[in-house]
Amino acid sequence: MPKENAGKITSMTTIKEIAKLAGVSRSTVSRVLNNDENVSDQTRVKVQTIINKTGYQPSPVARSLISGRTHVLGLVVPMIVSSLFRDPFFSILAQGISSACTLNNYTLMLWLIEPHSEQRIYDNILNNRLIDGLIVSSSKIGDRLIERLIEKKTPLVQVGRNDCPGVSSVDADNIHGAMQAVKHLVSIGRRQIATITGQMELYSGVDRLAGYKRGLVESSLPILDERIAFGNFTEESGYNQTKLLLAKSKFDGLFVASDTMAFSAIQALQEAGLRVPEDVAVVGFDDIPAAAHNHIPLTTVRQPIQKMGSIAAQTLIDQLEQKDTSTARRIILPTELVIRDSTKKSAFSNHYAPDQVQTTT
């Protein structure tokens, strides 16, 4: 390298040139770049000084070939693109994952599982060499992808409950949160409490229905099939299942397994000439940002969505960095009941009353 260029940053600098200037082999430079302990302090200082003077930046591709790591995490979301951007849950979750990736110098890659191309995308994920590990959100019960990832020994963390041995998971306390929603409705005098479930292929749907039933039992209220409608977490199902409930039962309280469904449930109730909360009090689940700003602010069970994402990412990174070599972690985060106008007796006379928050125990 010409003397006049010494100390200048140049994209043309190579490991070979660094090695020549430092008087060492290329393999020694590689070991310094990868913080290999088998390099003397004197040699490390000499090589690092040349690197600093030249402004050398190793190619990410070259480094991944040497280390076998890409510092890329994958997020698998099992829903079509249109649904992804209509449901704030996944965007909030992705924010938490992305924040943890940024703090740890990782990049995030997103995989959307669309029903018509599910198998092809699964094959792409399984054969992909660009990622170090995967975070799988809201996978279906018994999902074959999880089994295949385990078979390939792919580093993996799930958002949502799972029964897979050896796989870490992060979830909210869905059962307790649903129980708290039902008991709140009972506390304000409601005795005929219906529910619209989430998708029953997901543990979150199963657990929130279980919490609804347990809340009724512990309140000495009957569990009636005609007061249970099966939704799938979409706006359409919230609206349609509310219409179905109205046609087959009478109820004065309604627990809906997601805020997105709860908004359309309120619309269906109002179209039927019912007042919220006077005739039917409504509780949702999630506490997405729109819950506080709905035309009738929604009482809901708050789950720490962004925190779930950041913990899931950090758990996976700890596995990859071998900071956590213990058995699989099962992390259950507490929920909070946020009380707003959709269950307040004074909703319309005191519309701007502050939210009330009750934490699960």
pLDDT tens-digit readout, 293-328 = 999 999 999 999 999 999 999 999 999 988 665 678
Indicate the Cα dihedral angle 209, 281, 333, 162, nearest 10°. Answer: 20
Q: What are residue 286's DSSP bridge partners?
A: 302
Region 72-172+305-332: CATH code: 3.40.50.2300
- When mean pLDDT is compared across 1-15, 143-157, 238-252, the lowest value belongs to 1-15
Max Cα separation, the chain? 88
Domain boundaries, the chain: 3-67, 72-172+305-332, 174-304+336-359
62 vs 274: which has the higher pLDDT: 274
Q: In the CATH hierarchy, which fold is given to the domain comprising 174-304+336-359?
A: Rossmann fold (3.40.50)
222 vs 15: which has the higher pLDDT: 222
Per-residue tokens: 114: 């669309």
Could you tell me the pLDDT band of residue 207, with boundaries at 50, 70 and 90?
Answer: very high
81 vs 356: which has the higher pLDDT: 356
Per-residue tokens: 137: 């959100």
Do 284 and 259 form a contact (C-beta atoms < 8 A)? yes
Same fold yes or no, 72-172+305-332 and 174-304+336-359: yes
- In this predicted structure, the answer to whether residue 257 has a pLDDT above a threshold of 70 is yes
Q: What are residue 333's DSSP bridge partners?
A: 172
Region 3-67: CATH code: 1.10.260.40
Res 36: pLDDT:
74
Global pTM value: 0.78
Res 3: pLDDT:
42
Question: Treating both helix axes as pointing N-terminal to C-terminal, what angle do 174-187 and 203-218 enclose, rounded to 10 degrees?
Answer: 40
Mean pLDDT value across residues 140-169: 87
